[in-house]
C-alpha cells in the first residue's frame, strides 16, 4: 500500500506541472490528497509495527517535523513565484499571515524560524501574524502563508 500511494502521489504531483487550466489542477489536487490520505496512515502503521515501542513517538515526531520543513520550503518557493508575477519581492511585503495546522507552540516556533531562515525572511519584518489553526484547505497541508505587498503606482516613484 505504501509503494502504491507513494507512486500515485509522485505521478500526481508531477502532473500538476503541465496542467493547462484550473479544473485539471483541482482534479489533480483532489487525487493527490487521496493518495496522501492513504500514504500517511500506512507509514504510521508501518512505523508502529517495525519500531521498538519506546521509539515510536520519536520516529513519528521526526516524520511530522520533516513534513513541516518540506512544506515551509515549498511555501517559500510558491511565494517567490507569486511575488515575482506581481513585480514584487520580499522587501515589498507590508503584511504577512502564517497559518500552521497545529496547536503545539513548538510546531509554530519551528515553522516561524524556518521562514526567518529562508530567503523570504525580509517579508516577515513588517506586520506579521503567526496562527495555529485546526485545518487548512487541502488534506495533509500543514502551512500556508498570506502575503500582501505594496507596489509604487505606475509613474510614481
Q: Phi and psi dihedrals of 135, rounded to 5?
A: -150, 155
pTM of structure:
0.64
Give a yes or no: residue 13 inside a domain: yes
> In the structure grid, which three cell numbers stand for residue 107, read together?
510546531
Q: What is the domain extent for residue 6?
A: 2-149
Give a yes or no: residue 65 inside a domain: yes
Q: What is the CATH number of the domain that holds 65?
A: 3.30.1330
pLDDT digit string (tens) for 91-149?
A: 999 999 999 999 888 889 989 999 999 999 999 999 999 999 999 988 778 899 999 99
Give a yes or no: residue 79 inside a domain: yes
Cα–Cα nearest to 144, from 78, 53, 58, 81: 78
Give a yes or no: residue 68 inside a domain: yes
- Count structural domains, the chain: 1
Give a yes or no: residue 130 inside a domain: yes
115 in Cβ contact with 146 (< 8 Å): no
pLDDT digit string (tens) for 15-34?
A: 988 989 888 988 888 888 88
Amino acid at each position: 500500500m505504501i509503494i502504491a500511494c507513494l507512486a500515485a502521489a509522485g505521478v500526481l504531483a508531477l502532473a500538476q506541472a503541465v496542467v493547462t487550466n484550473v479544473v485539471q489542477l483541482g482534479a489533480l489536487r483532489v487525487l493527490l490528497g487521496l493518495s496522501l490520505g492513504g500514504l500517511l496512515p500506512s507509514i504510521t502503521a508501518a512505523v508502529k509495527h517495525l519500531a521498538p515501542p519506546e521509539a515510536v513517538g520519536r520516529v513519528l515526531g521526526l516524520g511530522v517535523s520533516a513534513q513541516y520543513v518540506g512544506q515551509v520550503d515549498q511555501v517559500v518557493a510558491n511565494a517567490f513565484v507569486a511575488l515575482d508575477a506581481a513585480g514584487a519581492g520580499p522587501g515589498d511585503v507590508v503584511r504577512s499571515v502564517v497559518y500552521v495546522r497545529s496547536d503545539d507552540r513548538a510546531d509554530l516556533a519551528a515553522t516561524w524560524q524556518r521562514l526567518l531562515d529562508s530567503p523570504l525572511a525580509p517579508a516577515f519584518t513588517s506586520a506579521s501574524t503567526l496562527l495555529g489553526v485546526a485545518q487548512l484547505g487541502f488534506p495533509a497541508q500543514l502551512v500556508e502563508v498570506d502575503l500582501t505587498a505594496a507596489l509604487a503606482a505606475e509613474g510614481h516613484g
